[in-house]
Homo-oligomer: A and B are copies of this chain.
Amino acid sequence: MGEEQLLLGLNLVGIIVFSASGAAAAVAKRLDLFGVTVVGVVTALGGGVLRDVAINEAPPVAFTDWRYPVTAGLTAAIIFWLHGRVFRLRKTMLTLDAAGLGLFTVVGTVAALDAGIPQVGACMIGMITAIGGGVVRDLLTAEIPVVLLREIYAVASLAGTIVITVCHHFEVPPLWSSLGAAILVFGLRLISLQRNWSAPTPKGPATA
């Protein structure tokens, strides 16, 4: 019970940060309220829907649990109204986005392994869960996906999927491997941001 609640809470945090990043990208493209909401929702839920289709978890949980789309939609709408303020919180946003990346990497890889997907496939599905929403966001806003241009984002996710898959093979308790992998992804991403802190980012404030 408590664990399930925790998982839901972490999932919703991931949805909020990814929806915010999608909405901010859509605002930068001058989409209207509806467009911003759609891009936010798709960014937040897209990776999970791709994962559920891949592991034949049907229908995808994004369509069966109303808390997921409603959370994503409200977040995006709030960003639409507040975006000037959000841009000033850029450092916070990037940190939260890194946390979302770690979380979705873990959730996706564990779901794939639980569905009986072999190891290499589980790593792929974990990465798709974590970066799929951002790729769809960039396609909808007519950009080359940023994850293909900035190496360390997806590589951090890949490292996390490998940790989980190896731990799963050696029957490490899932809670420990999940925690370790999430922290690893989060840390790798933050360190890579730190090192490039002064480097020009080609995509504007909040598309990470």
User: A interface vs B, CB < 8 Å?
Assistant: 26, 29, 31-35, 38-39, 49, 53-56, 58-60, 62-66, 69-70, 112, 115, 117-122, 124-125, 135, 139-145, 147-151, 154-155
Q: B59, A56: Cβ atoms under 8 Å?
A: yes
| Contact (A34, B151) CB under 8 Å given A56-B59, A69-B120 | yes
How many identical chains are in the complex?
Answer: 3
Q: Which of B33, B55, B120, B155 contacts A34 (CB 8 A)?
A: B155
Q: B141, A144: Cβ atoms under 8 Å?
A: yes
Cα separation A69 to B118 with both chains bound (whole Å):
12
Q: B69, A121: Cβ atoms under 8 Å?
A: yes
19 further interface pairs, Cβ-Cβ under 8 Å (given A34-B154, A38-B147): A34-B148, A34-B155, A35-B151, A38-B154, A39-B148, A55-B63, A62-B121, A63-B117, A63-B122, A63-B124, A64-B117, A66-B119, A66-B121, A69-B121, A135-B140, A139-B140, A140-B145, A142-B142, A142-B143
Cα separation A143 to B59 with both chains bound (whole Å):
29
Residues of A contacting B: mostly: helix
Q: B140, A144: Cβ atoms under 8 Å?
A: yes
Q: A59, B115: Cβ atoms under 8 Å?
A: yes
Note all chain B residues with C-beta closer than 8 A to A56: 58-59
Q: Which of B33, B58, B139 contacts A151 (CB 8 A)?
A: B33
Cα separation A120 to B45 with both chains bound (whole Å):
14
Q: Chain B's nearest CB lies how many Å from the CB of A120?
A: 4
Q: Which of B35, B63, B115 contacts A149 (CB 8 A)?
A: B35
Q: B54, A124: Cβ atoms under 8 Å?
A: no
| Contact (A148, B31) CB under 8 Å given A121-B62, A142-B143 | yes
Closest 8 interchain pairs by CB?
A: A63-B121, A56-B58, A35-B148, A66-B120, A34-B151, A142-B144, A32-B151, A31-B148
Q: Chain B's nearest CB lies how many Å from the CB of A46?
A: 12
